[in-house]
Structure 1
Amino acid sequence: MQNPICLPTAIFLMGPTASGKSQIALDIAKELPIEIISVDSAQVYRYMNIGTAKPEQEILTHTPHHLINLIDPDQTYSAAQFRKDALNIMQDISSRNKIPLLVGGTMLYFRVLQDGLSVLPAADQDMRLQLEHLAKKLGWPAMHQKLSELDPTIAARIKPTDSQRIQRALEVCYLTQQPMSEILKTSQPADFPYRKVSIALIPSERSQLHSRITERFGNMLNAGLIDEVQSIRQRFSSLNMESPSMRCVGYRQVCLYLDNKISRDEMHDMGIAATRQLAKRQLTWLRGIRVSNEIYELDCLSSDSSTRVHNLIRAVTETCAD
């Protein structure tokens, strides 16, 4: 086994939404030999700019970000594809004597990148068509009940209206003849040929993060989020509420508003609430990995958070060079 100290370095910059990860990464890119890789399951979509807090084009021109604007909103992008793409890009960055800085809040992507994927069967188009046909007859809540009978553990984690995840779980059950929850207990050996340095941006005051989230969502609406969603739905007519892109936080609430299912005020409040829930899940995940991983924690509310991250990365990389 290769000595971890001899491996090239990769920086993980993680944190909840509105913790300032993107700006810190931009600040660091001006000073250190790094290249930014986005770890964001929403920023992979083209045209979804405002609601994903994607850097403006001028910034992307001067400081390129990898794994942004990969697919159209009516397409899908898996965690497995992310791992493959990210590892290829990281290898290229390291070969040019630079350091990959992976920045984002999609915690599943970070986990899959480092630990690999569970051994699940590939998508089967015939099986999916059969499940979709059955769902049209019975409805997805009834399909969820079927899943509860086959795999109660997985069913308990999925909402009865979450058609995409219900379909995938049933597909796995039928293809493998065993519960998906049992398969997930066995993971592929992960090949992660990097010396990972994990940095977590954790707010010292949750209420201040909530204030940031409220301001952030308001700014998105003022910047034209509603028009953006309307334009995307007109451009890609096959999109619906269950499309992965339109289930992203903010986009789902605007879709409900555009479909006249909620008022503008309700959309505003629901968007903020959904973003807070997302931040809570992200922080829960970060607390969980502290137990088994070495991780540097910094207060994202600190006025000198960029400087602290910069100094930490410089110290770590200089140690690696020695």
Structure 2
Amino acid sequence: MGPTASGKTDLAMALHERLGAELISVDSAMVYRGMDIGSAKPSPEELARAPHRLIDIREPDEPYSAAEFRQDALAHIQDIHAAGRMPVLVGGTMLYFKVLVDGAASMPSADADVRKVLVRQAEQEGLAALHAELASVDPVSAARIHPNDPQRLMRALEVYRISGRTLTAHWEAQQSQSLPFIPRPIVLCPSDRRILHKRIAIRFDLMLEQGLVEEVRALCHKMALSAELPAMKSVGYRQVLEYLRGDHDLDALRERGIIATRQLAKRQLTWLRRWDDARWVDPLTEDALEVTLKIVRGDCT
């Protein structure tokens, strides 16, 4: 794991070559075909040298959820274990890592018709009536949700009316989704934040030189892409879409892209600091690979 531009792919490929590890991508942008430059997807040559699973499995106009990632990742992990090999999950989508470890509540998607009925009921009977109904079917959620919180009240009732199961039951099911193995989390992060920022700027400039704008333009010609699609909310792609709409010029695109990537790295680090059992490795040190190998083998306490 690690913030963007910290060198995760290179280190993972080295683990593949040194240990024969099988790599599984944990990246919400790399799952999409055609989104190569902006996602910093390994090149065809790199993938030939060190194949990554869960890359290029969706079209950009198709959704892919964290729950789907967990299901797919567990299937690949089981397959790799069955072959007697070591799976190494590499990427920067922290939500995917969290859902993999903690499980995913199988919540039903929002239903516009059910929500309209609940809105009308709230207008006619008041929020107190909704809270009383929730208390009768799901007292645990009712005790947790404030009677004057319409959004959470209606979502809890919506889940129950759609699925026939309470919000509490869905969350309890999530807690039972224990992993059949013990993960060994490793965080790759430069000790000098200024160097990370410099890497981010250099990499975004390289993306623009490699044709990031042309990549997004080609995708837009191929299919109807909007800023609301999960794929187009990825850092870099969102800023290019704004540029193609005429919202700003190329210089502003570069500035916005670099700033957004720095903000992404900051959010990633916030997630990573919560990983109590993670081992941190500085990629700027000469022995980063050897330290990582020791952690993977369990030789380092």
Compute the TM-score of the two structures, normalised by the length of structure 1: 0.76
| Map of 2:279 onto structure 1 | 296
List runs of 5+ in structure 1 lacking aligned partners: 1-13, 133-147, 154-169
Give per-residue Cα distances to partners, 1:134-178, cap 9 Å, x unaligned. Answer: xxxxxxxxxxxxxx952379xxxxxxxxxxxxxxxx766634379
| Map of 2:236 onto structure 1 | 250
Task: Return the alpha-carbon distance in structure 2 between the equivalents of residues 15 and 69 of structure 1.
Answer: 21
Task: Return the alpha-carbon distance in structure 1 between the equivalents of residues 214 and 113 of structure 2.
Answer: 34
Q: Secondary structure at the match of 2:199?
A: helix
Task: Return the alpha-carbon distance in structure 2 between the equivalents of residues 184 and 50 of structure 1.
Answer: 38
2:68 to 77, 81, 93: 81
2:188 counterpart of 1:194: no
Give per-residue Cα distances to partners, 1:257-279, cap 9 Å, x unaligned. Answer: 01101111111011001101110
Task: State the 1:119 CA deviation.
Answer: 4.8
Compared CA separation, residues 268 and 191, structure 1 to 2 (3 A) = same
| Map of 2:150 onto structure 1 | 150
Compared CA separation, residues 188 and 200, structure 1 to 2 (3 A) = same
Q: Secondary structure at the match of 2:280?
A: strand
2:299 counterpart of 1:312: no
Task: State the 1:316 CA deviation.
Answer: 4.7
Q: Secondary structure at the match of 2:206?
A: helix
Whether the 8 Å CA contact 2:29–2:234 is kept in 1: the answer is: yes
Whether the 8 Å CA contact 1:15–1:201 is kept in 2: the answer is: yes
| Map of 1:135 onto structure 2 | none
- Residue pairs, 1:12-27, within 5 angstroms: 14-27=1-14
Task: State the 1:288 CA deviation.
Answer: 1.3
2:191 to 181, 197, 204: 204
Task: Return the alpha-carbon distance in structure 2 between the equivalents of residues 221 and 129 of structure 1.
Answer: 44
| Map of 2:252 onto structure 1 | 266
Identical residues among aligned pairs (%): 42
More strand by share: 1
- Residue pairs, 1:94-173, within 5 angstroms: 94-120=81-107, 122-123=108-109, 127-128=111-112, 150-151=150-151
Compared CA separation, residues 112 and 254, structure 1 to 2 (3 A) = same
Task: Return the alpha-carbon distance in structure 2 between the equivalents of residues 35 and 218 of structure 1.
Answer: 31
Compared CA separation, residues 264 and 171, structure 1 to 2 (3 A) = farther
Q: Higher Cα Rg: structure 1 or 2? A: 2
Compute the TM-score of the two structures, normalised by the length of structure 2: 0.81
> Which residue identity lines up with residue 296 of structure 2 in the other structure?
I
Task: Return the alpha-carbon distance in structure 2 between the equivalents of residues 273 and 265 of structure 1.
Answer: 12
Task: Return the alpha-carbon distance in structure 1 between the equivalents of residues 267 and 281 of structure 2.
Answer: 18
Whether the 8 Å CA contact 1:115–1:189 is kept in 2: the answer is: no
Compared CA separation, residues 188 and 195, structure 1 to 2 (3 A) = closer
Whether the 8 Å CA contact 2:31–2:56 is kept in 1: the answer is: yes
Task: State the 1:129 CA deviation.
Answer: 7.5
Whether the 8 Å CA contact 2:22–2:86 is kept in 1: the answer is: yes
Q: Secondary structure at the match of 1:53?
A: coil
Q: Segments of 4+ in structure 1 off by > 4 A?
A: 128-132, 170-173, 180-186
2:204 counterpart of 1:217: yes
Whether the 8 Å CA contact 1:37–1:103 is kept in 2: the answer is: yes
Task: Return the alpha-carbon distance in structure 1 between the equivalents of residues 42 and 4 of structure 2.
Answer: 14
2:161 counterpart of 1:174: no
Task: State the 1:202 CA deviation.
Answer: 2.4
| Map of 1:286 onto structure 2 | 272
Compared CA separation, residues 44 and 230, structure 1 to 2 (3 A) = same
Task: Return the alpha-carbon distance in structure 2 between the equivalents of residues 192 and 185 of structure 1.
Answer: 16
1:32 to 5, 9, 19: 19
1:67 to 54, 57, 73: 54
Relative contact order higher in (CA < 8 Å, ≥ 6 apart): 1
Q: Secondary structure at the match of 2:19?
A: coil
Instruction: Tell me the C-alpha RMSD between the 2 structures.
Output: 2.7
| Map of 1:233 onto structure 2 | 220
